[in-house]
Homo-oligomer: A and B are copies of this chain.
């Protein structure tokens, strides 16, 4: 990777990681071999390979990753804004993209390079590693994502997709809002274990199991902070009602 504003002379980027919840911990583990990591989270333990610093110090790094729930992003963005260095690259990892990128654009200093990302994996689905997993990058207009994309491809072996925030949120309404809705309903049914099952049931149960370990904050982010999710839910319930009616005939 060429030396750019966000890399140190030795080619290792200096990254301030703000938020070390379930996803921040996963990110720290996979980034530590490839970057100089500083971290800040008053509510979580600092993992190996991450130097604990103040919020101001983490926010003053050339690359800042905000691994906080979308519900907390406004407050965190306001707190870090005074410490962001000119031209710094600020990355969020929320499961929706329109709202977080609007918040960062409205709150961070002009000239901050904003790169929205959505890693399409989490601690459950990446339990065996992140290689081959997908990540979506939604750069703000004028931000070149190529340096970050190369890093993610070459160091972490991720499958990198470039998109814009609206296309991302539309796609994720079908993909994630649907999956989480169905999985949550199945989990809520609290079905007894079955002595014999079918292949399609096993697939459905595995999807529900993966999703059941995600936080409620993530579920609400996916369903409530994606402007296209409500429409997808409406269509799902309409299709379900139509099917139920057809079966009652």
Binding site for B on A (CB under 8 A): 120-121, 125, 134, 136, 159, 161, 163, 171, 174-176, 178-186, 188-189, 191-192, 194-201, 203-204, 206-207, 210-211, 220, 223-224, 233, 235-237, 239-240, 242-244, 247
Closest to A183 in B: B200
Tell whether, in the assembled complex, residue A203 and residue B195 are in contact, meaning their CB atoms are under 8 Å apart. Answer: no
Q: Enumerate 24 A-B pairs (CB-CB under 8 Å) in ascending A order.
A: A120-B196, A121-B198, A125-B199, A134-B198, A159-B196, A161-B195, A171-B195, A175-B194, A175-B196, A178-B191, A179-B201, A179-B204, A180-B200, A182-B204, A185-B236, A189-B236, A200-B210, A200-B211, A203-B203, A203-B204, A207-B207, A220-B247, A233-B247, A240-B240
Let me know if B176 and A198 touch, CB within 8 A.
Answer: yes
- Cα-based distance from A188 to B247 in the complex (angstroms): 14
Known: A120-B198, A161-B195, A175-B194. 18 other contacts (CB 8 A): A120-B196, A125-B198, A134-B197, A163-B196, A171-B194, A175-B196, A178-B201, A179-B200, A181-B240, A182-B186, A182-B204, A185-B236, A185-B240, A188-B242, A189-B239, A200-B211, A204-B204, A224-B247
In the complex, A176 Cα to B202 Cα: how many Å?
10
The CA-CA distance from A81 to B189 in the complex, in Å, is: 43
Tell me how many chains of this kind the complex includes.
2
A124 CB → nearest B CB, Å: 8
A153 to chain B minimum Cβ distance, whole angstroms, is 14
Main secondary structure of the interface of A (DSSP, over half): helix
Known: A239-B188, A240-B240. A207 touches B196 (CB 8 A): no
Query: Closest 10 CB pairs between A and B?
Result: A203-B207, A125-B199, A200-B207, A188-B239, A200-B210, A174-B191, A161-B196, A175-B201, A179-B201, A203-B203
Give chain B residues whose Cβ lies under 8 Å from the Cβ of A211.
Answer: 200
Question: How long is the Cα–Cα vector from A203 to B183 in the complex, in angstroms?
Answer: 11
Please tell me if the beta carbons of A197 and B236 are within 8 angstroms of each other in the complex.
no
On chain B, the residues within 8 Å of A236 by CB distance are 185, 189
Question: How far does the Cβ of A158 sit from chain B's closest Cβ, in whole Å?
Answer: 11
Among residues of B, the one whose C-beta sits closest to the C-beta of A196 is B161
